[in-house]
Structures are given as structure tokens and as C-alpha cells.
Amino acid sequence: MPARNPTIFDLVSQPQELGAARTFELALYLPPLRLAGRDYVFVSDVVPARLTATFAGGGFAVKLEFSCRLEGACWRCLEPADLDLDVKAEDYFETKLPPVEEIGEEEEASLWFMEDGSLNLSEWARSAIAELLPPQILCRQACKGLCPQCGANLNFEECGCKPPLDMRWGKLRKWKAAD
């Protein structure tokens, strides 16, 4: 499958009238994510997005809103899992950029702002999504995962494996018996 191009928005060419807000409806490409060593894709990977740019003297306040669905493997049982996200990202982009070497980590917004003054919306969206992700992506909240001994999916079957006897618990049991 050919790689798609990131969605680019030409920000600095927007009229610089103080307080004027302009809204754009865009088709936003969402690149796949790699999480915990697995690939997750957006279905669809092009979503309708709304971008609002307001000139605030020296730069633009930009808001990007879209909804998306992420699909991939459940972290516990590896069955298909999906996640619906409503994303709202806001940032301020100065029209005059400092030289690249002066961009520090605290100026994260500059990372999506390219040298020609356009915004890489796909990268910005990816970063906004990363902040919204739960600690684990699961097929269901109470996913029981796989049996560590036989690999059975415990959501669908009880395999009957006995949990391995842990030495520490054995000691605790003896201590309790002596009490």
C-alpha cells in the first residue's frame, strides 16, 4: 500500500487581521500508530476535520477537531479491539519562527510548524491522539486475557490450568500456619 502524504495546512498565507477567525473543513490523514510493539490503524485513515485559525497578533491560535476510530490488537488477549476518540487540539503558532537550532523542547508547537510556515496537521493530530490514549487498549474493560500456561483466551473458555505455585506465597502460607 503506498504511503499517504501528511495533511499540510498553509497557515502563514492566511490573512493576518486581528481577531478574525476562519474555519476550514479538511480531509485529515491519520498515520498508523505503533504502540507496545504492535501496529494500530485508523479506520478510516482519512477523517473530516475542522480547523479554526484566529490571528492574535504575532501568530495564530489554531484549533483542530475531529473524531476517529483506532483498531488493533487487545493488549491482554490479542483479539481485535477498537477505540473511538473525539480529539480537540489547540495551540498557538507564531508567524515568525525562530531559527530551527533555537527551538527548544518547551516550544513543542514548533515541531508541527514547518520552515515554509505550513502546519503538518497529521503529525499534530498524532501527538494529540497520543495524549488521549488510555494506558491499555482492550477489547473490553474486563478482558481476562490469555492463560499464561496454555494460552487459552479466558474470555471464552476456562482452561482449568492451576496457577503456578509461587515460592513467596508458599512461605507466607507456612508462616500463617505457624501463627
> Could you list the residues that contact Zn ion (CB under 5 A)?
74, 76-77, 139, 143, 147, 149-150, 152, 159, 161
Q: Least CB distance from residue 160 to Zn ion, whole Å?
A: 7
Which residue number, 55 or 75, has a Cβ lying nearer to Zn ion?
Answer: 75
Coil, helix or strand for 109? helix
Q: Least CB distance from residue 35 to Zn ion, whole Å?
A: 15
Which residue number, 78 or 114, has a Cβ lying nearer to Zn ion?
Answer: 78
Q: Least CB distance from residue 158 to Zn ion, whole Å?
A: 8
Q: Where are the alpha helices (DSSP H) in the chain?
A: 121-132, 167-178
Which residue number, 76 or 129, has a Cβ lying nearer to Zn ion?
Answer: 76
Can you tell me which residue has the cell 503456578? 164
Q: Where are the alpha helices (DSSP H) in 2-144?
A: 121-132
Contact yes or no for 74/81 (Cβ under 8 A):
yes
Name the DSSP class of 123.
Answer: H
Which residue number, 28 or 143, has a Cβ lying nearer to Zn ion?
Answer: 143
